[in-house]
Structure 1
Amino acid sequence: MSADETWTAAAAAAAAREYSGDDLPRSSFDESTGIYHSVHQLGKHHRIPTTPNLDTATFVLSRFPPHHQAESRVALIDSATNQRVTYAELHRSVLSLASGLYHALGIRKGDVIFVLSPNSLLYPTICLAVLSIGAVLTTANPLNTESEIVKQVSDSGATLAIAAPECLHKLLSTGVPTIQTSRPSEGDELSIEELISSCDPVELTQSDTTGLIRPSQSDTAAILYSSGTTGTSKGVVLTHSNLISIMALLRWTVDVTKAKKDVFLCFIPMFHIYGLAFFALGLFCCGTTTVLMERYELKSMLEAIQTHKVRNIPAVPPVILGLVKHAGRFSAGGVGDLSSLRRVSSGAAPLGKELIGAFRERFPWVELRPGYGLTESSGAATLFVSAKEAKRRPGSCGGLIPGFFGRIVDVDSGNNLGPYKVGELWLKSPTVMKEYLGKREATVETVSGDGWLRTGDLCYFDEDGFLYVVDRIKELIKHNGYQVAPAELEAILLAHPNVLDTAVVPVEDEEAGQIPMAYVVRAGGADELTEAQVIQYVALQVAPYKKIRKVGFINAIPRSAAGKILRKELVLQANNKHQIINSKL
């Protein structure tokens, strides 16, 4: 029996055993293969479909509530205007827009559609309509510069752009035909809103008369741009099979965490895999209601929670930090009643033990459940099934979800490592991307010939198969031959009452190779916090080689839309300043 057959058989045997979610699982590590597997099973209602001729939109729409419920059940609520969209209205909008894109604009299977917009009630309709006719979705941050947008449009091969009115000017130099999302106040330009209102909500079927060729699971569904595990931004090619798989797994997570009746809050950007998979597509498979924010802002988020009795927030670490540091000051003004809140999940970046502890102390009635995922894995790969699991393992990102296999690989030898041994995390699942668009070498470096995704993250599993992220391999600071993890130092600094936010980066040093430098955002009223105090605070809690050697105070830590620290900007700034100082000595 081959190694692959061995671990597949082990996984099947584990999947056959029921797991309640409230008891600690048995070890998921197979010593004979060095492979970790999920201890959870998918029930018959959550199995990943294997039908070849199935597309993402058809899968999602088929899981909408039945017709007699869809007319009244609310799918989306705009937090700013209180406008509501029922499942029936959403379904009709998707069919109308798909017809308009196909018949009025001539969009065909394989055409790449570039979407540039903040979150809106129209965003899910656009995504589902594009995917339903076999076109390929590529999304971007509306805050991107014109040059960044031109590069993505060119690299993806987009033939049509859909943009919010305020973003139109960034697309002028691309030369790509552009349609805006909402009706213009002046002029007769076509819009997405007009296409929806003017086209009949009739399902397009594959036939000789229409010429429609429906997509299959193996076809490309989306090209999402990610920094990847190495190098610059690359187009992550996800198939319909990838997205359908993550949708099926999301349905399982919502059911198993008893969140099906929750009201969710969305401020995670839908152009990111986290927002796209969860809010623009996935939650509609579960029949839940989502309160939608255009973008994250703390006070607006607290108002939305209070007004709409939100129970569940998929978030990122900066949001959780904001709740811990700031939420209390709004209560006196009548804003900030979070009594409805029951669950907060976290992804996109590691969540330190100190921040987890502070959140649970501040909000003891809320279940905090960190998770782990990547664009290259179509989103989530690990989670906590129960609050009990999460509380007993602070600092962990949870266990592998069904269908996922993991390895911890020694960076030097390439050997598989057992529990508590730190190495690079490799993942295998039906959600792993097809490739990096047009970058064969980068694809080969990231996805092995037998389908293992090299994540670029240093991690370890404990004896029960729960994952802990140490740091990015390429972000480790090499100090006098020792490896220093920025995330560890950041977690310590965030526990300081006078530190609002922080990032630790390497600074080049002739003697030590690199030294750790901390950029710190002072908390309000903490202007007296000094570099010496910060250095001493960390030095008392770490080994000598891990000590912070320099501190810079700034107004805000640069972060991506998903909450990840933009370290390259800080590294460039730190090393430039260091060189200037040295040149003056």
Structure 2
Amino acid sequence: MALQNQDRTSAIDPNSGFCSDSGTFRSLRPQAPLPPETTPLSVADYVFSHLRASPPHPSTAALIDSATGRRILYPDFLRRVETLAASLQTTLGISAGDSAFVLSPNSIHIPILFYSLLSLGVVISPSNPASSDSEISRQIQLCKPVVAFATLETAPKIPSLRYGVVLLDSPEFESMMTNRIGEFRRVKVRQSDTATILYSSGTTGRVKGVELTHRNWISVFAGVYAVHGQSKAAATSPAVALCAVPYFHVYGFGYCTRVLALGEILVTMGKGRFDLRRLLRTVEELRVSHLAVAPPVLVAIAKDISVMDGCDLSSLEVVGCGGAPLRRSVIEQLRKRLPNVQLAQARISLS
């Protein structure tokens, strides 16, 4: 066995990580420490154990709604996650293994909902609120939800479900996050349990639901903690991260949950038609350091010389882009326009 491992290691290029045997690239970083696979642990509990061990300052905002200026500080964020989880247990009776369908644009409430459901062992299945009735019907067939979380605008698209539809933009939902009805009952979640069902684009056939386990997401965050450990210790203030990609996409889901897992500040643009000038003004006003966008946004910045006029983007350190590759010409133009910004590209594929 030792000789076999040595042979595999020798087949990996130490400079690029390319493995000639498998034809794939492997990370050159040391393997991130993971909890024992048999330990019952949800990704929410894994994240919260890290936040308790290294808590953000109580005055640090966890969530900011750039449209309204509303801020939710970290102590309130953690309380809301647990209070909502207790409310869902008490009022709806949902339990581990149930599936929840989420049909909503980005909002300050969505990350709270995600972490509450993950802590309950409920499978999260978010969908594009612009989906057609037939697309939603297909997705509901795949994830078999017992409850849906939607807005007043998207709720009519949801068929009848066992526990109905919870409106995220209602006073009742706000009450579920702030008024504790009962005590939160800890749930035993196996790392091998499904945490999310996310959907492929359907470019190679019908839309497919792709299951990711708690172990999958724990592995993602373990890598994040390993990479960001030193930089976080050296930072004088938490990063301010603006997520301009939809939370129902694997890129947006992973980004918004990762930012909070690191104790950083997550800024949401809220609902409404995307406006590039408003995005850039938000970067300036909130001193955003990390920005997550889709390729068309960077193409627009690269092509339109005037779009950045009058905008102070000096706070930007990293711009992340995923979903599709950027052309070399776009990258070169961006480097000229944003010379002090690191451009990070991620190829994300579920299917």
Question: TM-score when scaled to structure 2?
Answer: 0.88
Counterpart position of 1:305 = 283
AA matched with 2:317: R
Aligned pairs for 1:10-29 within 5 A:
26-29=15-18
User: CA separation of 1:4/1:143 partners in 2, compared to 1, >3 Å: closer, same or farther?
Assistant: farther
Aligned residue in 1 for 2:180: 199
Correspondences of 1:161-560 after superposition (within 5 Å): 161-172=148-159, 177-183=164-170, 191-199=172-180, 202-205=183-186, 213-227=187-201, 230-255=204-229, 261-279=238-256, 281-294=257-270, 296-326=274-304, 328-329=306-307, 331=309, 334=310, 336-376=311-351
CA contact (8 A) 2:90 2:181 kept: no
Match of 1:50 in 2: 36
- SS of residue paired to 1:63: helix
Q: Displacement, 1:122?
A: 0.8
For 1:124-163, list aligned pairs within 5 A.
124-163=111-150
* CA-to-aligned-CA distance 1:306-336 (integer Å, 9 cap, x gap): 10011111222111112122363452xx4x2
Q: For 2:161 and 2:85, locate their aligned partners in 1 and report how far apart those are by CA, in whole Å.
A: 24
- The alpha-carbon deviation at position 302 of structure 1 amounts to 0.8
Deviation at 1:155, TM superposition (A): 2.2
1:41 — aligned with what? 30
- Contact residue 43 and residue 218 of structure 2 kept, 8 A: yes
Q: Is the 8 A contact 2:301 2:307 kept in 1?
A: no
Partner letter of residue 35 of structure 2?
P
Change (3 A) 1:40 1:229: farther
- Return the letter of the residue paired with 1:141: N
The CA distance in 1 between the partners of 2:182 and 2:4, in whole Å, is 47
The 1:249/1:144 distance shift into structure 2, 3 A limit, reads same
Q: What are the superposed Cα offsets for residues 457-479 of structure 1, whole Å, 9 maximum, x if unpaired?
A: xxxxxxxxxxxxxxxxxxxxxxx
Q: CA deviation at 1:120?
A: 1.0
Match of 1:429 in 2: none
* Residue-by-residue CA offset, 1:157-213 (whole Å, 9 max, x unaligned): 1110111122111115668611111325xxxxxx322212222685422xxxxxxx4
Q: Who is 1:187 aligned against?
A: none
Write the distance in 2 (CA, Å) between the matches of 1:55 and 1:305.
33
Give the one of 57, 60, 64 matched to 1:73.
60
Partners in 1 of 2:247 and 2:298 — Cα distance?
Answer: 19
In structure 2, what is the Cα distance between the partners aligned to 1:37 and 1:3? 19
Distance 2:175 2:67 in 1: 22
How far apart, in 2, do the equivalents of 1:159 and 1:170 lie?
15
Cα deviations across residues 247-304 of structure 1 (Å, max 9, x unaligned)? 222333444777963211111111111111111x211221111211125420110110
Distance 1:168 1:229, change over 3 A: closer
Which is higher, the Rg of structure 1 or of structure 2? 1
CA distance in 1, matches of 2:101, 2:59: 32
Matched residue SS, 2:154: helix
**Equivalent residues of 1:71, 1:88 under 8 A apart:** yes
In structure 2, the CA distance between the partners of 1:362 and 1:50, relative to structure 1 (3 Å rule), is same
C-alpha spacing 1:172/1:251, structure 2 compared with 1 (3 Å): same
Distance 1:201 1:298 in 2: 44
- In the superposition, relative to structure 1, how do residues 343 and 67 fare at CA in structure 2: closer, same or farther (>3 Å)? closer
Range 242-251 or range 28-37, more displaced: 28-37
Q: Paired residue for 2:107, among 103, 120, 144? A: 120
Question: What are the Cα deviations for residues 527-558 of structure 1, in whole angstroms up to 9, with x where unaligned?
Answer: xxxxxxxxxxxxxxxxxxxxxxxxxxxxxxxx
Task: Specify every segment of 5 or more residues in structure 2 that has no aligned partner in the other structure, as ranges.
Answer: none
Retained in 2: the 8 A contact 1:95–1:201? no
Aligned equivalents of 1:230, 1:101: Cα separation in 2: 37
Measure, in 1, the Cα distance between the counterparts of 2:110 and 2:306. 33
Contact 1:306 1:337 in 2 (8 A): yes
> Shift of residue 78 of structure 1?
0.7
Q: What SS does structure 1 have at the residue aligned with 2:192?
A: coil
How has the CA–CA distance of structure 1 residues 256 and 146 changed in structure 2, closer, same or farther, with 3 Å as cutoff? farther
Cα distance 1:297–1:375, how it changes in 2: closer, same or farther (>3 A)? farther
Which whole-Å CA distance do the structure 2 matches of 1:372 and 1:7 have between them? Answer: 29
RCO greater where, 1 or 2, for CA within 8 Å and sep 6 or more? 2
Question: Which of 44, 69, 80 is the equivalent residue of 1:82?
Answer: 69
C-alpha separation in 2, matches of 1:198 and 1:372? 41
In structure 2, what is the Cα distance between the partners aligned to 1:35 and 1:69? Answer: 38
Distance (whole Å) between structure 2 residues aligned to residue 326 and residue 178 of structure 1: 42
Deviation of the 1:8 alpha carbon: 6.0
Q: Could you state the TM-score of these two structures normalised by the residue count of structure 1?
A: 0.55
**1:105 is aligned to 2:92:** yes
Alignment partner of 1:137: what SS? strand
- 1:10 is displaced (CA, Å) by 5.5
Q: What secondary structure, in the 3-state scheme, does the structure 2 residue paired with 1:218 have?
A: coil
Q: Distance in 2 between matches of 1:137 and 1:359?
A: 36
Structure 1, unpaired ranges of 5+: 15-24, 185-190, 206-212, 377-585
Aligned-pair distance for 1:68? 7.0
Contact 1:217–1:240 under 8 Å retained in 2: yes
In 1, Cα distance between the equivalents of 2:264 and 2:101?
28
| 1:453-501 Cα distance to aligned partner (Å, 9 max, x none) | xxxxxxxxxxxxxxxxxxxxxxxxxxxxxxxxxxxxxxxxxxxxxxxxx
Identical amino acids, percent of aligned pairs:
34
d(CA) in 1 for partners of 2:166 and 2:110?
14
Secondary structure class of the residue paired with 2:89:
helix
